[in-house]
């Protein structure tokens, strides 16, 4: 149960602290060329924009559809619908669908995101600290997420990219079935460089880590 994994400290919520330590060590090792120190500044900034007073457990997490770039398959019409980044929000809109939750760090078509009055899990990290306030301040329902120990109204989910963080969240919320639409670690959407390819490799490893836990049934679609 999720309550067994929640650790509430200083106003923030941490999902599975030990898993977070392992995951953070892994992605820092995989990307030695990046400086992650500014993640701590982002964790202090993010809670200022929290305006969500609900409870994630109010959603029905039994079946979760996670749509992420570059999704080609329209999700099935049952279950919770999560969009990863503005790209997926736009794709869903073209299919006549509206997400229940959006998971994003506001770096891929963010203007598509703030059009909707749905819960946004807006991720703050060292690389988006300069533009995070621009979009977080315009979100109608924002629950900040962070990459290091939270300092206030924010949520720390193990994971690194928006996509694998969405999968971790569904897992921790007790999803019986997780459907992943679009994830392809060999197809780069935003930019094609060494760092982006490594990030996709990290995402693949972490998603497979969730799968190996054998609590949630995970199905992939193009």
What pTM was computed for the model?
0.94
Percent with pLDDT over 70 in the chain: 95
Cα→Cα distances 86→65, 103, 141, 168, 209, Å: 16, 9, 15, 20, 26
All domains of the chain in start order, with CATH: 2-221 (3.90.1480)
Closest by alpha carbon to 119, among 61, 72, 59, 172?
A: 59
pLDDT of residue 6: 45
- What is the side-by-side strand order in the sheet with 12-15? 6-9, 12-15, 155-156, 141-146, 119-124, 101-104, 80-84, 63-67, 177-181, 217-221
Q: How large is the average pLDDT for residues 140-165?
A: 96
Beta pairing class for 141-146 and 119-124 = parallel
Work out the end-to-end distance of the chain between its first and last CA atoms, rounded to an integer number of angstroms.
30
pLDDT digits (tens, 9 = 90+) for 10-59: 468 999 999 999 999 999 999 999 999 999 999 999 999 999 989 999 99
pLDDT at 80 over 70: yes
**Mean of all residue pLDDT scores within the chain:** 93
d(CA 67, CA 50): 24
């Amino acid at each position: 149960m999720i309550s067994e994994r929640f650790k509430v400290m200083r106003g923030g919520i941490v999902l599975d602290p030990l898993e977070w330590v392992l995951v953070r060590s892994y992605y820092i090792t995989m990307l030695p060329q990046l400086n992650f120190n500014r993640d701590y500044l982002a964790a202090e900034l993010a809670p200022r924009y929290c305006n969500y007073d609900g409870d994630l457990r109010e959603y029905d997490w039994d079946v979760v559809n996670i749509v992420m770039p570059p999704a080609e398959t329209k999700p099935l019409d049952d279950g919770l619908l999560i969009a990863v980044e503005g790209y997926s929000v736009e794709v869903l809109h073209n299919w006549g669908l509206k997400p229940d939750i959006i998971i994003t760090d506001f770096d891929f078509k963010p203007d598509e995101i703030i059009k909707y009055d749905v819960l946004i899990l807006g991720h703050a990290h060292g690389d988006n600290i300069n533009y995070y306030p621009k979009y977080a301040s315009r979100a109608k329902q924002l629950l900040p997420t962070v990459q290091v120990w939270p300092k206030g109204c924010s949520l720390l989910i193990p994971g690194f990219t928006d996509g694998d963080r969405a999968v971790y969240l569904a897992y921790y919320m007790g999803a019986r079935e997780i459907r992943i639409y679009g994830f392809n670690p060999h197809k780069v959407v935003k930019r094609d460089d060494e760092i982006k390819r490594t990030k996709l490799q990290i995402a693949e490893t972490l998603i497979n880590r969730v799968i190996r836990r054998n609590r949630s049934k995970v199905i992939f679609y193009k």
